[in-house]
Amino acid sequence: MPEENRPLALTMGDPAGIGPEITAGAWQALRGGTIRFAVVGDAALIARHGVPVRDIGTIAQVADVFAQAVPVLPVALAAPVTPGQPDSRNAGAITTSIARAVELARNGQAGAVVTNPISKIVLKKAGFAYPGHTEYLAALCNVPGREVMMLACPELRVVPITIHVSLRRALDELSTEGIIAATRTTHAALIRDFGIAAPRIAMAGLNPHAGEDGSMGTEEQTLIIPAIETLRRDGMDITGPWPPDTLFTPPARARYDVAMCMYHDQALIPLKTIDMTNGVNTTLGLPIIRTSPDHGTAFDIAGRGVADPASLVAALRMAGRMAEHRNPT
Ligand SMILES: NC(=O)c1ccc[n+]([C@@H]2O[C@H](COP(=O)([O-])OP(=O)(O)OC[C@H]3O[C@@H](n4cnc5c(N)ncnc54)[C@H](O)[C@@H]3O)[C@@H](O)[C@H]2O)c1
Ligand SMILES: N[C@H](C(=O)O)[C@H](O)COP(=O)(O)O
C-alpha cells in the first residue's frame, strides 16, 4: 500500500469527555475524502452519536469500511460511561488505546497517531506516571526526554520549551541546552514534516521587555542569547530574544514560521486565543507522527451534542499532510 494511503490510528481519549462525539463528527466530515482513520476504542460509545460503526480485526480493513461506517479496533472498557463523569476504572482502556495506536504507527500499519483528549488528573489518580500524552508517547517510542510540543493553527506555530510543569519549576528547568535541543528538533521537523525548506525561527524572551538589557531579569543574557548564538552557528535563521508581549501581533507573526516560547502558557495562550477552533497539537521528536486537537476533554459539555469537531478534523488533516511530507510518493 502506498505510504500516503495508510489509515490514521485515532485513540479513544477519555470516554466520558467529548472524544466520542467529535470522533463521530470527524467521520461525517471526512468520510468522502482521502483521510481515513480507525478508532482504537469502543464502538458502542461512538454509535451513541448517530453514526454507523463497525468493529474491524485489522487496520487494513479501513480502506473497505470507512466510507460506510466508523471502523473500530476494539478496546474493552472496564466501567459504564456517563458523559461528563470520568471514571478512573477506565484509565487502563484509555492508556491501552494510546499504546495500541502507537504500535500500529511504529510497525508501519498506520500513517500516524491522532489522539482524542485525556484528562491528566483522571489518569494520575489511577497511577499513570506521565503528565500527558506528550511524555507518554516519548516513553512508548523509547525516546524519553526528546519530545517537543508544537501547537499550530493557520496563523501561528508555537513551541513551549518547558511543558507540563509548574511555572516555578519551568523557570528552574529552563536551560541553554534545553532551548538548543528543542529548537533543533523543531527546525528538523519543520523541514521534514511541514515542507518548509528554510524555517524562520523567532525566540521569545522570558522576562518583561525581554529583560531590557538585564534591568528586568537576566535569563535572556545568561540562557537565551547563548542558545541563539549556537543555533546561528548551526546555520539557522533565528531572531530574538523578542519581548513576549509583542511577539504575537499580526505583523510580528508574518516574520517567522515558529515562535520558540519559554513556558507552556507563553506559547498556548496566544495560539488558543487566536484560533482554538482550528488549532492542532503535535509532538515532534518522535519516530512517529502524532497530532491531537488543541482542546481538552470538555467534561462540562460532553454528551450534549454541542462539541465542535473542527479541531479534531484539523488534527486528522494535519497528520495526513505530515505523513505525505515524510513519505512522498
Ligand atoms: N490533548 C489532550 O489530551 C488535552 C489537551 C488539553 C487539555 N486536556 C485535559 O482536558 C481536561 C479539561 O481541560 P480544560 O477544561 O482546561 O480545557 P478544555 O479544552 O477541555 O475546555 C475549555 C473550554 O472550552 C470548551 N471546549 C473545549 N473543546 C471544545 C469543543 N470541541 N467544542 C466546543 N467547546 C469546547 C469547553 O467546554 C470548556 O468550556 C483537563 O483534564 C486537561 O488535562 C487534554
Ligand atoms: N498542553 C496541552 C494543552 O494545554 O492543550 C495539552 O494538555 C496536551 O497535552 P498532551 O498532548 O501531552 O496530552
What is the tens place of the pLDDT at every residue in 164-194?
A: 999 999 999 999 999 999 999 999 999 999 9
Residue of minimum CA distance from atom 5 in ligand 2: 294
pLDDT digits (tens, 9 = 90+) for 134-146: 999 999 999 999 9
Percent of the chain surpassing pLDDT 90: 97
**pLDDT value for 282:** 98
Burial class of residue 127 (count of CB atoms within 10 Å of its CB; 0-12, 13-18, 19+)? exposed
Separation in Å, CA 296 to CA 18, 62, 114, 135: 8, 27, 14, 16
Q: Which domains does the chain have, with CATH numbers?
A: 1-147+286-329 (3.40.718.10), 148-284 (3.40.718.10)
Compute the C-alpha angle 297/301/307, nearest 5°: 75
Would you say residue 3 has pLDDT above 60? no
Q: Which helix (H) or strand (E) holds 133?
A: helix 133-140
- Ranges assigned E (strand) in 98-246: 113-114, 148-153, 156-160, 200-204, 237-242
Burial class of residue 61 (count of CB atoms within 10 Å of its CB; 0-12, 13-18, 19+)? middle
* Nearest ligand atom owner, CA of 282: 2
pLDDT digits (tens, 9 = 90+) for 266-278: 999 999 999 999 9
Higher per-residue confidence, 255 vs 3: 255
| Average pLDDT rounded to a whole number, residues 16-31 | 98
**pLDDT value for 131:** 92
The atom number, within ligand 1, closest to the CA of 298 reads 20
Do the Cβ atoms of 315 and 323 come closer than 8 Å? no
Report the alpha-carbon distance of residue 213 to residue 221 in Å, rounded.
Answer: 8
Which cell is 25 given?
Answer: 463528527
**pLDDT value for 2:** 46
**pLDDT value for 251:** 98
Q: Is the CB of 295 under 6 A from ligand 1?
A: yes
| Average pLDDT rounded to a whole number, residues 31-39 | 96
Mean predicted lDDT score pLDDT of the chain: 96
Which protein residues are within 6 Å of ligand 2, measured from CB?
132-134, 268, 281, 292, 294
**pLDDT value for 4:** 60
**pLDDT value for 5:** 80
Residue 328: pLDDT band with limits 50, 70, 90: confident
pLDDT digits (tens, 9 = 90+) for 54-106: 999 999 999 999 999 999 999 999 999 999 999 999 999 999 999 999 999 99
Residue of minimum CA distance from atom 9 in ligand 2: 132
Report the alpha-carbon distance of residue 19 to residue 25 in Å, rounded.
Answer: 10
pLDDT digits (tens, 9 = 90+) for 190-232: 999 999 999 999 999 999 999 999 999 999 999 999 999 999 9
The atom number, within ligand 1, closest to the CA of 310 reads 31
Q: 301 C-alpha vs ligand 1 centroid, how far in Å? A: 10
Pocket test for ligand 1, best of 133, 137, 297 (most atoms within 8 A of CB): 297
Residue of minimum CA distance from atom 22 in ligand 1: 298
β-pairing verdict for 156-160 and 200-204: unpaired
Q: Is the CB of 191 under 6 A from ligand 1?
A: no
pLDDT digits (tens, 9 = 90+) for 117-131: 999 999 999 999 999
Residue with cell 489518569: 123
Q: Is the CB of 264 under 6 A from ligand 1?
A: no
Percent of the chain surpassing pLDDT 70: 98
Residues annotated within the binding site for a divalent metal cation are 164, 209, 264
**pLDDT value for 58:** 97
Residue with cell 483528549: 117
